[in-house]
Every structure is written in structure tokens, then in C-alpha cells.
């Protein structure tokens, strides 16, 4: 058996999700026809959304109406964007011990589920660092990925890497040869960073950010060496160049400039790095759009493009694999947060075809997949695998 097959069979990453929320309501033919017309609008497209929500509380609000069509704010977001297969949230601010909120977030994604509409399963990576992620009762950082259940069936592995103790990374490996990394990247500051084992001060969070870059690059290169295509998506806490900051690009203190240079080097410029594609720039050129709009300023007075989608170069070598991408830069889409969502869509059939061709070449050459990383563990969601509803 190949290493890839072993990896797939040993995966415990697919969660045993709580049962989908089902309300005892009737639906008219007109309502069902509306569902049929909105859901298949992107048939054959893999659509991935990302949003730094700056806390999930507002997404859990109980709808004022409980009749047909009554949706939670989270479910409304998913429906408005025609049920993306994957929604990656960052900065969810949920404690790893707070099982109740984790359960509520799953409920919110499925609240108001109508006949014929998709359901979602949520995975979490939440802080488990006893020295560096303890503020607000552990309600800092954190990422959550909502996988549409029909899409989740093709996800072989969902895991958090062992090096990430602050709840910043979730990795989803799909059978079409695509690896999607939901990340809330470290923000560099002069605040001391403590060794997660000893608790002793070990530099600053600027140093921690640079280490995070290195860990993430190694993760990417490992997957690309295995023949996978990688999508890095999320809040990367760095604006790449002058065009990505308004009215100015942050250059003080100087360490921010060094952090930016390190980021661009590792993921775009250096021959031994990822050599990735900033898909928004690749698609939209010098269009000025931003993702971070602080709430203390008038809309557009100060903003930065710090949420990015970086993809393996091979995904743009084959025309038509990437079918669209954009930033939803409006106050409406920002909602309660200080970031706006962004998205990418890909042609699933072409991805599957590329994966099949790669497998044929591997078989013909006698090559095999690389074995899983030593000591790697596959994770389940941070909440228990089942609940009584």
C-alpha cells in the first residue's frame, strides 16, 4: 500500500459531527425553487472564503424570527455567498475549554437549514500555549473552518500542526491534490515571547513571527514536494508593498520592514522559497483594495491589505484552474469585524484531472508519495465528537 493510502486510512481528521439542525417547518415550492436556483449557481466550482471576524459573538445571535427563512447571522452569510464549500474564519476568540461556544458556532452554521440546502461541519484550532495565549481567559487568536458536508467527504485529512500552539493554523488536505491552509498569522510586536515549555522570555513576538514564517514555509514545501498544490489563505498580518497600505505603508518601527522583507522573500521571491502567487495581484493587477478597515476611523481613511490568498505557482500554469478571486471591501461585508472577507474559486474538474495525470506519472515512474511527517498527529475538532441536541 502506498504511503498516501496509509495516510488516508489512518486519518482521524474527519469529525463525527453533531447532527444537522432540522426545524419542523414546511417549505413552499417557491422557496424550494429559490434554493435550487441559488445553490447550483457555481456548479463545478470550489469556492473558498476567508474572514477575520474579530470574535464570533455577533455570529451567534439568535434570530428575532423563528419562522421559515429565519437564519442566524452566520447562516445568512453562507447563504448570501451561495454556500461556499469552505469558510475559513480567523481570530474567533474562543477558549479551548469553552465547549458551549464551539457547539453554538456549529449550530449557527446550520440554523434555519431548509430542505435541499447544504449543511456544514466546523473544525477548530484554539490556543493551547500556557504562556503566550492566555489573555482574556484564553479567548485570543483561534481559527475555525466550516466545511460544507458534501465537500468534506473528499477531505482526507484535517489537522493542526504540532508547532502551532497558539491556535493559528488548520490544514485541510483534499483528494484532488489540494492543500488549503487556514491561517491567522502572528502579528509582530515588541511584546516579550515566552518559551512554551519553560516559560522563560525568548525574544519578542517579532522573533516569533519570523519563526512562524519559517514553520509555514516548511509546511508548504513539504506538501509541494509530495505533489500537492497549496492555498494559503487568511490574515497574514503583513502588507506586502506600498500599494497595500493607505494612506501609507507601515515602516516604523524598523522591525516591521524586516518582517515584510522576510515574508516576501520566503513566499514569493527566493528560489528556495514557495515562489507563490498573490492571486489578487495576479488577477487584478494594481487595483487598490484593502482588507483591514479599523473601526476607529472613517471608512477608507486608513486601511491595509493584510489578508491574502497565496497559491502554488502550478495552479496558474494551467489556464482556467483558478476561475475568480476578489476582496469584498464594503462596510456591509465588514459587518461587526474590522476586516472584510475575500475569496477564491477553482475549477474542481480541472483540479481532479491534474491530480489524475500526476498520479499516472507517479505510477509510470515508480515514484511514491512521501510518508507523513515524523510525529505528526491528525486532529479532530476541539469540541467533543457528538452532542445531545
Active-site hit among 106, 228, 229, 339: 339
| 208 vs 223: CA distance, rounded Å | 23
The pLDDT, as a whole number, for residue 19 is: 34
The pLDDT, as a whole number, for residue 94 is: 97
| 275 vs 117: CA distance, rounded Å | 39
The pLDDT, as a whole number, for residue 103 is: 96
Asked about 184 being catalytic, the answer comes back as yes
Q: Which residues are annotated as a binding site for Mg(2+)?
A: 52, 91, 235, 237, 338-339
What is the CA angle 109-110-116, rounded to 5?
130
Active-site hit among 235, 278, 307, 382: 235
The pLDDT, as a whole number, for residue 216 is: 98
Active-site hit among 106, 111, 123, 184: 184
Residue by residue, what is the 3-state secondary structure of the chain? CCHHHHHHHCCCCCCCCCCCCCCCCCCCHHHHHHHHHHHHHHCCEEEEEEEECCCCHHHHCCCCCCCCCCCCHHHHHHHHCCCCCEEEEECCCCCCCCHHHHHHHHHHHHCCCCCCCCCEEEEEECCCCCCCCCHHHHCCCCEEEEEEHHHHCCEEEEECCCCCCCCCEEEEEECCCEEEEEEECCCCCCCEEECCCCCCEEEEHHHHHHHHHHHHHHHHHHHHHCCCEEEEEEECCCCCCHHHEECCCCCCCHHHHHHHHHHHHHHHHCCCCCCCEEHHHHHHCCCCCCCECCCCCCCCCCEECCEEEEECCHHHHCCCCEEEEEECCCHHHHCCCCECCEEEEEEHHHHHHHHHHHHHHHHHHCCCCCCCCCCCCCCCCCCCCCCCC
Q: Which residues are annotated as a binding site?
A: 52, 91, 235, 237, 338-339
Asked about 293 being catalytic, the answer comes back as no
The pLDDT, as a whole number, for residue 347 is: 96
Asked about 262 being catalytic, the answer comes back as no
Domains defined along the chain, listed by start: 45-365 (3.60.10.10)
The pLDDT, as a whole number, for residue 375 is: 39
The pLDDT, as a whole number, for residue 8 is: 34
The pLDDT, as a whole number, for residue 27 is: 36
The pLDDT, as a whole number, for residue 166 is: 97
The pLDDT, as a whole number, for residue 122 is: 98
pLDDT in tens, 327-341: 999 999 999 999 999
All residue ranges of the chain with pLDDT < 70 are 1-42, 63-69, 359-389
Amino acid at each position: 500500500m502506498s504511503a498516501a493510502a496509509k495516510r488516508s486510512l489512518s486519518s482521524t481528521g474527519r469529525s463525527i459531527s453533531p447532527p444537522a439542525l432540522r426545524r419542523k417547518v414546511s417549505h413552499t415550492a417557491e422557496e424550494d425553487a429559490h434554493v435550487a436556483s441559488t445553490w447550483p449557481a457555481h456548479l463545478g466550482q470550489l469556492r473558498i472564503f476567508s474572514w477575520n471576524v474579530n470574535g464570533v459573538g455577533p455570529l451567534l445571535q439568535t434570530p428575532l424570527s423563528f419562522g421559515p427563512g429565519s437564519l442566524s447571522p452566520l447562516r445568512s452569510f453562507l447563504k448570501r455567498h451561495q454556500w461556499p464549500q469552505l469558510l475559513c474564519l480567523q481570530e474567533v476568540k474562543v477558549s479551548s475549554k469553552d465547549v458551549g461556544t464551539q457547539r453554538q458556532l456549529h449550530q449557527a452554521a446550520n440554523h434555519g437549514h431548509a430542505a435541499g440546502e447544504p449543511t456544514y461541519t466546523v473544525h477548530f484550532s484554539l490556543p493551547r500555549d500556557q504562556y503566550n495565549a492566555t489573555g482574556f481567559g484564553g479567548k485570543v487568536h483561534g481559527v475555525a473552518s466550516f466545511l460544507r458536508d458534501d465537500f468534506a467527504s473528499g477531505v482526507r485529512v484535517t489537522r493542526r500542526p504540532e508547532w502551532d500552539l497558539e491556535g493559528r493554523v488548520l490544514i485541510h488536505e483534499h483528494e484532488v491534490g489540494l492543500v488549503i491552509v487556514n491561517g491567522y498569522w502572528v502579528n509582530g510586536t515588541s511584546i516579550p515571547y515566552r518559551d512554551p515549555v519553560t516559560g522563560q522570555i525568548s525574544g519578542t513576538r517579532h522573533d516569533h513571527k519570523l519563526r512562524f514564517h519559517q514553520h509555514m514555509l516548511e509546511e508548504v514545501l513539504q506538501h509541494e514536494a509530495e505533489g500537492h498544490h497549496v492555498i494559503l489563505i487568511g490574515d497574514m498580518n503583513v502588507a506586502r508593498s506600498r500599494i497595500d497600505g493607505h494612506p501609507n505603508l507601515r515602516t516604523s518601527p524598523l522591525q516591521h520592514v524586516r518582517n515584510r522583507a522576510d515574508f516576501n522573500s520566503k513566499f514569493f521571491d527566493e528560489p528556495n522559497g514557495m515562489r507563490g502567487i498573490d492571486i489578487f495581484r495576479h488577477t487584478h493587477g494594481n487595483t487598490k483594495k484593502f482588507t483591514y478597515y479599523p473601526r476607529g476611523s472613517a471608512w477608507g481613511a486608513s486601511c491595509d491589505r493584510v489578508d491574502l490568498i497565496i497559491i502554488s505557482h502550478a495552479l496558474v500554469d494551467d489556464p482556467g484552474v483558478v476561475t475568480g478571486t476578489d476582496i469584498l471591501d464594503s462596510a456591509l461585508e465588514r459587518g461587526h469585524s474590522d476586516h472584510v472577507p475575500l475569496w477564491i474559486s477553482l475549477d474542481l474538474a480541472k483540479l481532479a484531472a491534474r491530480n489524475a495525470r500526476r498520479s499516472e506519472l507517479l505510477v509510470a515512474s515508480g515514484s511514491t508519495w512521501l510518508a507523513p511527517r515524523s510525529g505528526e498527529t491528525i486532529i479532530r475538532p476541539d469540541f467533543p465528537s457528538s452532542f445531545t441536541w
